[in-house]
Amino acid sequence: MSLKVTVIGTGYLGATHAAGMAELGYEVLGLDVDAEKVASLAAGRVPFYEPGLAELLTRHLDTGRLRFTTDYAEVGEFGDVHFVCVGTPQKKGEFAADLRYVDAAVEALAPHLRRPTLVVGKSTVPVGTAARLATRIAELAPAGTDAELAWNPEFLREGFAVQDTLHPDRLVFGVTSAAAEARLREVYAATIEAGSPVVVTDYATAELVKVSANAFLSTKISFINAMAEVCEAAGADVVKLSESLGYDERIGRRFLGAGLGFGGGCLPKDIRAFMARAGELGADQALTFLREVDAINMRRRSRMVDLAREQCGGGFLGRRITVLGAAFKPESDDIRDSPALNVAAQIQLQGGQVTVYDPKALDNARKMYPGLNYAESAEEAAEGAHVVLHLTEWPEFREIDPVAFGKLVAEQRVVDGRNALDPDRWRAAGWTYRALGRPNA
Ligand SMILES: NC(=O)c1ccc[n+]([C@@H]2O[C@H](COP(=O)([O-])OP(=O)(O)OC[C@H]3O[C@@H](n4cnc5c(N)ncnc54)[C@H](O)[C@@H]3O)[C@@H](O)[C@H]2O)c1
Ligand SMILES: O=c1ccn([C@@H]2O[C@H](COP(=O)(O)OP(=O)(O)O[C@H]3O[C@H](CO)[C@@H](O)[C@H](O)[C@H]3O)[C@@H](O)[C@H]2O)c(=O)[nH]1
């Protein structure tokens, strides 16, 4: 009989994981405490934008392999394997991760476990969490239930979540028994067969792989952005510098894109939680460099505001500013810690009249930043602008015809926060083109 899998927490990670598990052939029950989200998923509507996910979801609602609920008793009854995918955001006013949702999920699930089961943590957590949760499960699971915990961190990227879920570049299994390892190998048999390597290790290492991967990626981005600061001071070109570095295979070109820096629901909060946890463990010195990584990243945002102000003639009062992009990166509608919206809000606070356009993230942006103006197209956003800021590199912004666009604005000034537009094309159309870390023409 085929395995029955549950997925607890059906946000960006969980909804994709649930659909991915159904694609692998399992019967899947997704649970969320957000009844609206559950109703939406059950009706075949993905409550966020993720390419390819809607198709996968509707396919498996149709095959009958995928269902959703808000009822923990049903989940406990149903599942052989339970994946925990709830959020672990940054605590308000602190660096540490807020573990209340993970704790609540385990507390709610464990009393309903009914037979030998494996609970598998996928959320990103501070090292030591799994060991603590394993003890909690042992305390709360009904007597005689052979319930175990494993930690199987997730490395998917938003915008590529379906592909990354079905073809992960590695699987990490943090386990305390051969039986748990065997169960995970069974769950992921097709993925392993298709070539994804498996690393079997203890809880602590599995938890640390995840946060150290995100620390490395953040460091790579802040490294190139630090080089951008030096390039700017020296009149050099960070795009050419990055290209040249990337040809060295030991360095590699990926995640060397200089610009406005990293945002989103993962990298910023994960490096901060990592520093906080290292501090608790007495290893804070090991991660002091991450403070600098964070600081370099945040400086990108203020530098962008400065450049925009410069282009507005020294102040924002009475100036119209077009912001292209609201999502923290293209191919996503996620605006968590979005650098684009952070810059837009700073400029608005300083008296600028900001109009934002994004192909997918307008609804989310309107809810979180109701004070900004929004437009339904790049062209509408550009009407009468004194400066255009390109802050999220959606492909459609690269397609803009700078000649036609130039007729809409009050002044032809563009600041490219993602080094993704072609400076020659914009300059040839009469625009003043500025970018972070690139020389002026
Ligand atoms: N988004 C990503 O790309 C990604 C990738 C890898 C890892 N992660 C990690 O995965 C976790 C989830 O991230 P996300 O982006 O999917 O967050 P999210 O906010 O989109 O989703 C979390 C979901 O958990 C639900 N939830 C909260 N408490 C619950 C409870 N007690 N029981 C059941 N459901 C509950 C929320 O309603 C929400 O739908 C985080 O730890 C994150 O760091 C995220
Ligand atoms: O060269 C680059 C690459 C990325 N970014 C920015 O970095 C941020 C994060 O991008 P990305 O890593 O592609 O997005 P996420 O979906 O947040 O994925 C990261 O965070 C996830 C959650 O932990 C992990 O699973 C993924 O492996 C990890 O890449 C975005 O703001 C990007 O604009 C740059 O500034 N320059």
- Measured from the CA of 265, which atom of ligand 2 is nearest? 17
Question: Can you read off the two tokens belonging to residue 147?
Answer: 């319930």
- Ligand 1 contacts CB of residue 11 (under 6 A): yes
Answer whether CATH 3.40.1190.20 is correct for domain 203-441: no
Going by the DSSP 8-state scheme, the letter that residue 111 receives in this structure is G
Q: Name the residue of 154, 155, 209, 217 to mutate for ligand 2: max ligand atoms within 8 A of Cβ.
A: 217
Atom 15 in ligand 1: residue holding the nearest Cα: 12
Q: Which of 85, 231, 266, 312 is catalytic?
A: 266
b/e string for 190-204 if b means 16 or more Cβ within 10 A?
A: ebeeeeeeeebbebe
The pLDDT of residue 2? 83
The yes-or-no answer on residue 312 being catalytic is: no
Residue 91 assigned as binding residue: no
Atom 20 in ligand 2: residue holding the nearest Cα: 266
Question: Can you read off the two tokens belonging to residue 114?
Answer: 């009914």
Q: Nearest CA to 83 among 2, 7, 187, 10?
A: 7
Q: What is the dihedral of CA 309, 310, 315, 320, to 10 degrees?
A: -60
Q: Nearest CA to 353 among 375, 325, 379, 332?
A: 375
Q: Name the residue of 69, 86, 335 to mutate for ligand 1: max ligand atoms within 8 A of Cβ.
A: 86
Residue 255 assigned as binding residue: yes
* Parts of the chain with a pLDDT under 50: none
Question: CA dist 65 to 4, 28, 218, 253, 398, Å?
Answer: 10, 6, 38, 40, 40
CA of 349 to the centre of ligand 1 (A): 31
The pLDDT of residue 441? 72
The pLDDT of residue 1? 61
CATH number of 4-201: 3.40.50.720
Residue 397 assigned as binding residue: no
Going by the DSSP 8-state scheme, the letter that residue 433 receives in this structure is E
Give the ipTM of the model, two decimals please. Answer: 0.99
Fold match between 4-201 and 203-441? yes
Residue entry with tokens 């804070």: 284
Domain ranges, ordered by start, for the chain: 4-201, 203-441
The pLDDT of residue 440? 86
Strand, coil or helix: 121: strand
> Phi and psi at residue 334, in whole multiples of 5°?
-75, 125
Identify the residues whose C-beta falls under 6 Å from ligand 2: 124, 154-158, 214, 217, 221, 255-257, 259, 261-264, 266-267, 270, 328-329
Residue 360 assigned as binding residue: no
Question: CA dist 365 to 127, 298, 323, 326, 360, Å?
Answer: 33, 20, 12, 7, 10
